[in-house]
Amino acid sequence: MISCIKGTLTHITDDYALVENGGVHYEILLPSALAERLKTNGKVGSAIEFKTIYYIEAGDRKSSHYPKLVGFTDSVDREFFSLFTQVSGMGVKKALKSLILPIRDIATAIETKDAGTLNRLPGVGGRLAEKIIAELNGKTTKFALARADQPLAKKDLKKSLGPIEQEAIEVLLQLQYKRQEAEDMVARAVKDSPKVTRVEDLISLMFRSEQKRRL
């Protein structure tokens, strides 16, 4: 069992990191928002410690099974994830994508039997939401008290945004905005004016919105 890896963060993508320790590079799966924060904070090339979960990914009948590592920078996050993936039907990869709310909010939904909130998590339909509550209610109280307020995973906006919104995000990226900043700006503009049909109009809306925010 590998429960912790310390080393140098040599590479990071949207969903995994490479950590070098003693000449060996370990590939560690990460939730997407955590990966983005590590990239944004310039952690590549720095020493890092991941609290890890070791599991075996099953292939199909003709494939071998592969050992995998999932990593977190906080032991509380790892503990919650380990408990969350014990629910039948909640696999590791599905769980990694589902954490678009802070852990305390997910735990609060479990403890208050709020299936509606759980149902909005990616990959969690009504039946799985009910399973999560049935199997974890009463076990996640301490996580509902956590002070951390950042989600571990990002929403997949490509599935929810149209071509105009995606084009506006690309424009902002060219202007040196960070992706999360760009996505937030577009989301605010679309919320205020959902019927916008041209990217130029959407850019203008974002400009006016940002001017108001700065006043």
Q: Does domain 75-155 sit in CATH 1.10.150.20? A: yes
- Please give the CATH superfamily to which domain 1-73 belongs: Nucleic acid-binding proteins (2.40.50.140)
Q: What burial class does residue 160 get, using C-beta atoms within 10 Å of its C-beta: 0-12 exposed, 13-18 middle, 19+ buried?
A: exposed
User: Would you state the structure tokens that stand for residue 57, as one six-digit string?
Assistant: 């990914």
Say if pTM beats, i.e. exceeds, 0.75.
Answer: no
What residue spans define the domains of the chain? 1-73, 75-155, 157-214
- The lowest-confidence range among 41-45, 97-101, 140-144, 207-211 is 207-211
User: Would you state the structure tokens that stand for residue 66, as one six-digit string?
Assistant: 């592969």
| SS3 state at 46 | coil
Once rounded to an integer, what is the mean pLDDT over residues 14-22?
93
- The CATH class given to the 157-214 domain equals mainly alpha
The C-alpha atoms of residue 124 and residue 177 are separated, in whole angstroms, by: 31
Position 215 confidence tier, pLDDT thresholds 50, 70, 90: low
The pLDDT tens digits of the residues spanning 145-203 come to 998 889 999 877 555 567 788 888 888 888 888 877 887 788 777 777 767 778 888 88
